[in-house]
Structure 1
Amino acid sequence: MILTLGENLNMPNRVDMKSPIRIMLDTNIWSEFAKADVGPDLRRAIKRTNNIIVVPPLILFEALATPADEHRRRLVRLLTMPTWTRLMPEAYTLSQEILSEVKRLRPEWLRHEPKTQRFNKLRYDWTRKTRGFWERARYHSELLRNALQEDGNWPRNLLEMARKDYADQRSLNKEQGIRDIGSLTNCEGTFPAPLPEGITDEPIQFWRIRSWASVTRALAYPEHPLGEWLTPFLDFDRMQFSLASWNRFWLREVNEKQMKCFWLHYAFEMLQSVQKVTRGTPADAALSVYLCESDLVISADKNFIRNIDGIRSAAPCGVPIARIVQGGSSGIQETLDIVNNNY
């Protein structure tokens, strides 16, 4: 694929927010609060300001992978406090965007009679206040950690797949001499021959190519989390006979404003493709899916904050304020000050 890159990004300092403010803390912040055992200070600050702390499952998965037993237990206990607002997995969020566009553009792909029993049970397990996934993590973190380390576990598989994708994208950028990403709005790609069925050789926005490729690959695995959320509603047998229609759906027709989480993930991956990659880089891109569910993000990771600011001018949705704090214990008081003052 040949990338067409535009101008440099504008990076506004802030966006408007309304109360109550939804605040997302990066994993590095949670880790420091757990080490210092000052979670109650954060809870008091939230109660005082009447704001909301949102916790994505991805951060909980990262915490469960922590090797040090005592730190892991303290971190997981802090993350799973009932005080916080627990978000749904990113696969669920992405599936809802897909279903919304399928209903608008391809209603013939929908099952005449949705098979919702498994779907409802799974969603309830994530949303229930007691005896669900979050409580199992709170009281049985060792068992969940061991399960996550097993071969064939999807959180582990997805992370390894994402790391390979990053390596491939960086190699492509290096081959083409790309050292900087310009305007994300004007970033386009073309396919080498043969073209996907139903697609002409006109340039395609790269967020569409990335989304089409990732979902097509995901649905090739029967147990992939995305398929698990979609299967109750989509008639995959019917869709398999509509390859050209599937390609046009993703590469030409879906509306980026309705697929904002897909766009955010793409944008993060593009910016990260010319940055230094760490083992945590794929998790940062996955975390971008939750930007739509927050108004303020706090992190000690400079690249994570820089990338949030970097996508703002081109994003098809609101992007939260991003605030950097010092790494280590020094960032604790900075975080509390930001939370207390709403900026």
Structure 2
Amino acid sequence: MKVFLDTNIWRYIADTGAFNTLVETASNNGIELVVAPALVHEVRQLRDDTLRKKILNIIASPRLVRLMPEIYLEAEDIKKIMEKYRREWLIPNPDGSECDSLIDNWTKSEGGYWEDVANDISPPVTDESQRGELEHELAQQESKEIRVRINEKKSVLPASLDLKKVYFPLSAENSKPEREFVEYWRAQSLYLFKAEFAIYTSPYREWLDYFIEVSKIESQSDLLAGLWYNEVSINELPREWLRGAFMYLQCFHKITSGTPGDSQLSSHLIDVDVVMSADKNFIRFAKQCRQDAPFSIAQEYLISAGSTGVEEVIQHMRELNL
């Protein structure tokens, strides 16, 4: 059983010095504790040097299961989609050596990304990393702007919401007489990838450029829209559905600096069996997604703050396999 702890819980664990107890409890109960680079990004925003170093050191422990970045996992989903539906966009005999080198940096047991995390060493600045930081800021700004529009229209979240029935109005150039609306996640996801494909320094393109002829996609945007709107199923792009669902739900709640991070973390709800967080909105959104998603995602647990929360996490792990 895989358990994912949100950033706030790792802070409580660092504050209370409970890491060894946590790991031993997990091991004794057949549980793998999972971490992801999105957690690292959030922790690196902390200005308290001592606290930041302490948290980074424990979440980089080799005793934990390390996920690949959510952008890499999404890119792998995109590759499968292109192989199935648009083989004419693939590069013949692709050279994946550069991509393999990147994967090695993320997965090696010694050195590489996670050793730098443990030592609080920031990764080297690249065009892609700078673009990634900008995207985080833009996502936060976009969330705020959507929130303003929601308030202006005095829209409220429906009491009996089903995320599978949330739709987005298509613009005149993208709609057809028989279809003026599309599922929300499809529009949000298509908008993201069209924007990313157009930017050479996109972190998505860092994983996809060797495999896909991006110039062909840009010149055939109508076929890309047709693929996203009409051909791909929810179960083929579950991470896109989750991100779209989280972004939709976030429209009706206060936007914070952690809002884009929550959308990033939502991608991993299909990678684990349980997620625990002290963030009420994150847990509320995860619960709504679990109820409505046409695929299985993690069971959510809301945890108290501080040392009480650490005790709750340990108790939950003792009970999970009962």
- Per the normalisation by structure 1, the TM-score is 0.88
1:288 and 2:266 correspond: yes
For the residues of structure 1 that align with 2:319 and 2:21, how far apart are their CA atoms?
A: 14
- Could you say which structure has the greater relative contact order, defined with CA pairs below 8 angstroms and 6 or more residues apart? 1
Aligned-partner residue type, residue 186 of structure 1: K
Deviations 1:3-56 (A, max 9, x none): xxxxxxxxxxxxxxxxxx100000000001111222111111111112101101
1:268 and 2:246 correspond: yes
Aligned-partner residue type, residue 75 of structure 1: I
Deviations 1:120-174 (A, max 9, x none): 00111111111110111112x1x418969x9972442121011112022212322
Q: Which moved more, 1:204-213 or 1:163-172?
A: 163-172
Distance change >3 Å, CA 102–CA 200, structure 1 → 2: farther
Preserved CA contact (<8 Å) 1:58 1:287: yes
For the residues of structure 2 that align with 1:46 and 1:183, how far apart are their CA atoms?
A: 34
Deviations 1:289-335 (A, max 9, x none): 00001101111111111111111222132021111111122211111
Unaligned runs of 5+ in 1: 1-20
Aligned-partner residue type, residue 89 of structure 1: P
Q: Which residue of 1 aligns with 2:149?
A: 172
Which of 134, 137, 153 is equivalent to 1:160? 137
Which of 312, 316, 322 is equivalent to 1:338? 316
Aligned-partner residue type, residue 80 of structure 1: A
Aligned-partner residue type, residue 103 of structure 2: R
Shift of 1:76: 0.5
Q: Which residue of 2 aligns with 1:315?
A: 293
Q: Which residue of 1 aligns with 2:229?
A: 251
Preserved CA contact (<8 Å) 1:64 1:145: no
For the residues of structure 2 that align with 1:115 and 1:199, how far apart are their CA atoms?
A: 43
Distance change >3 Å, CA 198–CA 234, structure 1 → 2: farther
- Per the normalisation by structure 2, the TM-score is 0.93
Q: Secondary structure at the match of 1:304?
A: helix
Which of 192, 195, 216 is equivalent to 2:171? 192
Residues 197-208 of structure 1 aligned to structure 2 (within 5 Å): 201-208=179-186
For the residues of structure 2 that align with 1:151 and 1:96, how far apart are their CA atoms?
A: 18
Q: Secondary structure at the match of 2:3?
A: strand
Preserved CA contact (<8 Å) 2:175 2:181: no
Percent identical: 26
Q: Secondary structure at the match of 2:34?
A: strand
Distance change >3 Å, CA 301–CA 217, structure 1 → 2: same
For the residues of structure 2 that align with 1:199 and 1:156, how far apart are their CA atoms?
A: 40
Q: Identify, as 1 or 2, the structure richer in helix.
A: 2
